[in-house]
Each structure stands twice: as C-alpha cells, then as structure tokens.
A = this chain, B = another copy of it.
C-alpha cells in the first residue's frame, strides 16, 4: 500500500471500511506529510496534532453501526468558518485566538457524518482581499497558491489532507483549484448552508470544496445537502462521446494568457477527439455587464458586511476593507440595486443556455500561478459564474510555460451540481491523461 496520505478520500474510506486502515494511522500519515512539508507550504492557520489524534481514536472506537458515510475522512476547514474545538481567526488581528464554540453549518454536517475536522487552513483577511497569507504553492514555493482559500487549495494539492472546505465570492475556490492542480467545486449558491461563516457578500458568498478526484467531491457534496432534481434517463449524462459542450470565452477573454489560451484549445481538441461536439458560444451582450455588476454587488455588500469590525476598531482592518465600509469607490445604492437586478435577470438566461449543453467550458484563471505571495491572483474569469449562482468545477490537467498547473472550468445551470460532477468525472479523466500536466509531488 502507498503511504496513506497519498490516497484519495474514496480509497482511504474504502480501506477504513474494510478494516485495512485505521483512522488514527491515516491521520498519522497525513500529520507526517504535514510535518515534512509545513515549513515550505504553510497551509495551516491552526493544527493541533493531539486534537487530530484524539478525534481519530474516538472515530476508531465508534461501533460500526454508528459510523457515518464520511467516517474517518480528514477535512481541512478554511479559517473563516466556525469550528467548535479550534480558533477561527479570519486572518484578522480582530479575531486573534477567537474560539467560537459552535461549528459552522457545513462543519457540523460533515462532523455528524463522521468526518475528522483536521485543522484550519489559511485565508486572506476575511476571505475578502487578494493580499496573500504566507502560504506557498506546493508545486513551486516562489508562487502563490491563489486565494482566498489559499491553505485549502495548497493542502489538498500537497497531499496534506484529501478534502478541504473553501469559500468563493469572486474566484476564491476555483482559482486556488487551478493554481494547485486540484479539483474544486463551487456548488449552486444556496445549496450549502453558510451559517457560521464570515459574510463578505450575502449575494455572492458560496461554500466550496477541494479534492484530488471528482469521486471525492461526489462523496462529500451529497452529505452537504447538494442534490439535483431527478432527471429522466434520456437526459442523464452518459459520457463524453456524443455530448455537447459550449465553449465560452466571455467578455474578459483578453485577460487570458498563453497558458490558458493553449489549455482551452487543447481541451476543445481532446473533447472532440473523444467524440464530443464542441460549439463556441457568444453570450448575449447583456452578459458583458457582469464584471461591473459583480464589482458593484461586492462593493454594496462589503459596505454592510464589515461595518461592525470597522466600528469596533478600524485600525485593525486592511485599507481595502476600510475603503469598502467608507464606500471610497462611491457606489450609490441605486447602482447596487441595478447590479443585483441585472444579474438576477441573467440567471434564468444562463440556465437556459447552459441547459443546452452537457456543460459549458470556460477559463478558470488567466494563466498558471504568478510568482510572489503578495497577490493571490485574478478572479476575472470566475466572478461572473459566482454572481450567476451556477455550479462550477475546476478540472486540472493542463500546464503553463513554467510547468505549473492550469485548470479549466465546467459550468452547469443552477442545481445541476450532481450532473456537473458526473460530467467533470469523465472530462477530468481525459484532461488528466492527455492534458499534459501531472503533479510531481
């Protein structure tokens, strides 16, 4: 058997179920991986090995009939979600050592299913800025792992934990997914409870999940409550062959670098080579407003969300957040509403468009992870889908000119999350085998 830390969640849970692996030995393997790598990657905001092992032993001691569907699954939790047994600091001095003795809803749900809540992963300040934490990209420590779910993306990419939770308000799940070469899913907005998480934008914030295989995401998402309406046998996805994909460059395509341009071309070619129909789609002109509308929603919502921290002690907030509360960009309430109503009017339209295809294919990021830890990169290709509330999955498999991973995003209409994962599973096999990038970790 390979080192347990290398296992996917699916494989590890199978071994645990078959009594071939204890939760404790699995946890010890992950802890040893972390010990070996933490000085470089720095993915964790809080990790207490004793607490991990204590939980692991409790899980091992649990009678079989009391074990949940995720029994023994180690999960990293972005440090903007409450965990009853660990501090939640939001990468903010205002919350240094703050221990909130309830679990955020998704954490409670996963814990109730038998997950081992492993530790807290690093984030940018309140998951709201692009200024990075100290976390490095495991594939090249001179580069950012992306953000704001920096630690979750890096930890999963570095085999430190099989699954981690993140959030996405702009591109905070998909971007670190791409930069770290892992699968990352942002489900339909509203499908997973955000209770107990820091709020940046009520209209945009969404819980995300990172994993190294689609099967692993398919293990976790139904537990979190994600489920589609039933579909007829005829409309179910049965494979890439004969399936139709819509290639969407969007109005921000001029941000795509060589790595992403090449990945999009190669992806289309690979899908066609496997018998899919790939059509390039020009979205209606109204969709060109999406970047401005996303920015206006963020500004209007941020003005509300950080008021309490601002009033408590604005000297402990970054300049960016002070600016949000003070509305230095000068957005009016009317502009905020125009953006909210505009995006709302496009949601049924993108559903209709996406519904014609197995999935839409669109960039995740401009290119591979940039050098430097100061900035976590651009959300330009993600923010539109976040605001449209559609489910998106980052599928890795391509690479940039420096050999760093590049993923692409698959999009489905709202509440077609299970369908989208089924598509991502098949597409992912192709991208992984023929896209050109493999993790060397």
Chain B positions within 8 Å of A307 at CB level? 105, 109, 193, 224-225
User: CA of A305 to CA of B194 in the docked complex: distance in angstroms?
Assistant: 8
Instruction: Give the distance to chain B from A141, nearest Cβ to Cβ, in Å.
Output: 34
Residue of B nearest to A338 (CB): B348
CB distance from A364 to the nearest CB of B (A): 25
Nearest-neighbor residue (CB-CB) of A349 within chain B: B341
Closest residue of chain B to A106 (Cβ to Cβ) is: B308
Assess the B190–A203 pair: CB atoms within 8 A: yes
Residues of B within 8 A of A195 (CB): 198-199, 305, 308
Minimal Cβ-Cβ distance residue in B for A416: B333
A340 to B193, CA, bound (A): 17
List CB contacts (< 8 Å) of A257-310 with chain B: 300-301, 303-305, 307-309
Query: With an 8 A cutoff between CB atoms, is A31 at the interface?
Result: no
**Docked complex Cα distance between A333 and B190 (Å):** 11
Bound-state CA distance A255–B198 (Å) is 40
Contact pattern, A 56-86, Cβ under 8 Å of B = 1, otherwise 0: 0000000000000000000000000000000
Contact A109 B414 (CB under 8 A): no
Contact A414:B337 (CB < 8 A) given known A100-B101, A194-B199, A344-B344: yes
CA distance A194 to B341 in the complex (A): 21
CA distance A191 to B203 in the complex (A): 12
Instruction: Find residues 100-120 in chain A having any chain B CB closer than 8 Å to their own CB.
Output: 100-103, 105-106, 108-109, 112-113
How far apart are A85's CB and chain B's nearest CB, in angstroms?
14
Q: How far is the CA of A341 from the CA of B224 in the complex (A)?
A: 24
Bound Cα distance from A198 to B193, whole angstroms = 11
In the bound complex, what is the Cα–Cα distance between A89 and B283 (angstroms)? 48
- Taking a contact as CB atoms closer than 8 A, the residue among B109, B303, B345 that contacts A225 in the complex is B303
**Which residues of the partner chain B approach A194 to less than 8 Å between Cβ atoms?**
199, 202
Cα A307 to Cα B198 with chains together (Å): 19
Which chain B residues border A99 with CB–CB below 8 Å?
A: 101
Q: Does A92 sit at the interface, judged by CB under 8 A?
A: no
Asked whether, in the complex, the Cβ of A341 is within 8 Å of the Cβ of B333, the reply is no
| Chain A 232-243 interface mask (CB, 8 Å, partner B; 1/0) | 000000000000
A216 within 8 A of B: no
**Distance between A353 CB and nearest chain B CB, rounded to angstroms:** 14
Cβ of A438 < 8 Å from any Cβ of B?
Answer: no
Interface residues on A, range: 35 or more
**Most interface-central of A300, A308, A340, A348 (chain B CB within 10 A):** A308
Q: Are A311 and B109 in contact (CB under 8 A)?
A: yes
Contacts of A187-228 to chain B: CB distance below 8 A:
190-195, 198-199, 202-203, 224-225, 227-228
Report yes or no: B113 in contact with A192, Cβ–Cβ below 8 A.
no
A229 within 8 A of B: yes
* Docked pose: A312 CA to B301 CA in angstroms: 32
Question: What separation, in Å, do the CA atoms of A192 and B303 have in the docked complex?
Answer: 10
CB <8 Å contact, A415 and B337:
yes
Q: Which of A300, A305, A337 has the most CB of B within 10 A?
A: A337
Chain B residues whose C-beta falls within 8 Å of the C-beta of A348 in the assembled complex: 337, 341
Contact pattern, A 161-203, Cβ under 8 Å of B = 1, otherwise 0: 0000000000000000000000000000011111100110011
| Residue ID in chain B nearest A101 by CB atoms | B100
Known contacts A224-B307, A228-B333, A337-B348, then 17 further A-B pairs from the complex at CB < 8 Å, ordered by chain A residue: A99-B101, A100-B100, A103-B308, A105-B308, A109-B307, A190-B300, A192-B304, A193-B305, A195-B199, A225-B303, A227-B333, A229-B333, A336-B415, A337-B351, A341-B347, A344-B344, A344-B345
Pull 25 A–B residue pairs with CB atoms less than 8 Å apart, ordered by A. Answer: A98-B102, A100-B101, A100-B102, A101-B101, A105-B308, A106-B308, A108-B311, A109-B308, A190-B203, A191-B304, A192-B304, A193-B307, A194-B199, A202-B202, A224-B307, A229-B332, A333-B415, A334-B415, A337-B347, A337-B415, A340-B347, A341-B344, A344-B344, A344-B345, A344-B347
